[in-house]
């Protein structure tokens, strides 16, 4: 979502010719030398090359939130970011692979056979890169919370509105309930009448905790979301109409945030 530039044309040309390491006759992988801590563009180029990412969508920034139980994000130009949550997934080769493989794009290269000794170097480079982006402003933090939520959530079936009849509001509230048989995946919906994104407050609070590594007080989260341009409302409805319907029908009530994404749907 941020307007980041990252590596320039000359460095990308160099990157196209760079392998993600060398393998000796015994099959041992050796990663390229790490750039200096202050060489932000060099760190981006190193990560792009080592991870086998397409130069069309290079790493342009890195961020770290919280401590060992926090998270890290590698921001890429023109495509979705790569998330490591919790941060410890950057320190174990098996968990690193299962985390990153599902986030690679079609034109990215094959991920090398990293071992834990390689992850020590990769984590160090991510940490050095993130050090240059630690001073985020409030808008960027809120942007990251919403991005973290959308990354982990699934879109509910279309056709719901939070402005309609009691039965329509009931259906919308039910559609927002987490899905999945085992892992309860959070959901969001896009209001059919306004195009607004609708997210349960509890799910956004969980995303804020994952993004920052700490529990965010509800009034602070409410203020951040309000500054982003969204409103907090209570979504309440009955499954059936009329007094008789309230006697034998279902009832749903949930607090939600709703509003438009800054920059449009393509940022999701």
The per-residue pLDDT for range 2-59, each reduced to its tens digit, is 334 445 544 544 554 455 666 556 668 889 999 998 888 899 999 999 999 999 999 9
Tokens at 202, concatenated: 């509890």
Tokens at 1, concatenated: 């979502």
Q: Is the pLDDT reported for residue 80 higher than 70? A: yes
Question: Is residue 239 classed as helix, strand or coil in its secondary structure?
Answer: coil
Question: How confident is the model at residue 192, as a pLDDT?
Answer: 96
Domain ranges of the chain: 9-131, 138-267
Tokens at 81, concatenated: 């970011």
Highest mean pLDDT among 17-21, 60-64, 229-233: 229-233
Q: Which residues contact 94 (CB under 8 A, 6 or more apart)?
A: none
b (16+ CB within 10 A) / e for 164-191: bebebbbbbbebbeeeeeeeeebbbbbb
- The proportion of the chain whose per-residue pLDDT surpasses 70, expressed as a percent, equals 81
Per-residue pLDDT band at 240 (split at 50, 70, 90): confident
In degrees rounded to 5, what are phi and psi of residue 63? Answer: -135, 150
In degrees rounded to 5, what are phi and psi of residue 43? Answer: -65, -40
Cα–Cα distance, 247 to 80 (Å, whole number): 47
Cα–Cα distance, 200 to 178 (Å, whole number): 10
Q: Which residues contact 139 (CB under 8 A, 6 or more apart)?
A: 227, 228
Question: Which value, in Å, is the radius of gyration of the alpha carbons in the chain?
Answer: 22
User: In the beta sheet, which residues pair with residue 82?
Assistant: 74
């Amino acid at each position: 979502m941020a307007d980041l530039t990252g590596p320039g044309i000359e460095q990308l040309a160099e990157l196209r010719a760079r392998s993600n390491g060398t393998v000796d006759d015994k099959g041992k992988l050796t990663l390229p030398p790490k750039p200096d801590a202050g060489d932000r563009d060099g760190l981006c180029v190193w990560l792009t090359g080592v991870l086998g990412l397409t130069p069309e969508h290079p790493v342009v920034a890195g961020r770290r939130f919280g401590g060992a139980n926090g998270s890290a994000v590698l921001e890429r130009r023109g495509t979705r970011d790569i998330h490591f949550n919790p941060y410890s997934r950057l320190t174990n080769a098996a968990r690193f692979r299962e985390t990153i493989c599902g986030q690679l794009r079609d034109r990215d290269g094959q991920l090398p056979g990293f071992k834990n000794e390689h992850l020590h170097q990769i984590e160090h480079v991510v940490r050095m890169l993130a050090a240059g982006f630690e001073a985020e402003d409030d808008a960027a933090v809120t942007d990251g919370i919403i991005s973290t939520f959308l990354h982990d959530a699934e879109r509910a079936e279309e056709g719901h509105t939070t402005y309609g009849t009691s039965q329509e509001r009931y259906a919308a509230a039910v559609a927002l309930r987490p899905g999945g048989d085992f892992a309860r995946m959070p959901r969001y919906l896009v209001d059919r009448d306004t195009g607004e994104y609708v997210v349960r407050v509890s799910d956004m609070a969980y995303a804020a905790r994952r993004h920052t590594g700490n529990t965010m007080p509800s009034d602070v989260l409410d203020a951040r979301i309000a500054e982003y341009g969204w409103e907090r409302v209570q979504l309440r409805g009955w499954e059936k109409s009329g007094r008789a319907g309230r006697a034998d029908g279902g009832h749903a009530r949930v607090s939600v945030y709703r509003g438009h994404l800054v920059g449009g749907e393509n940022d999701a």
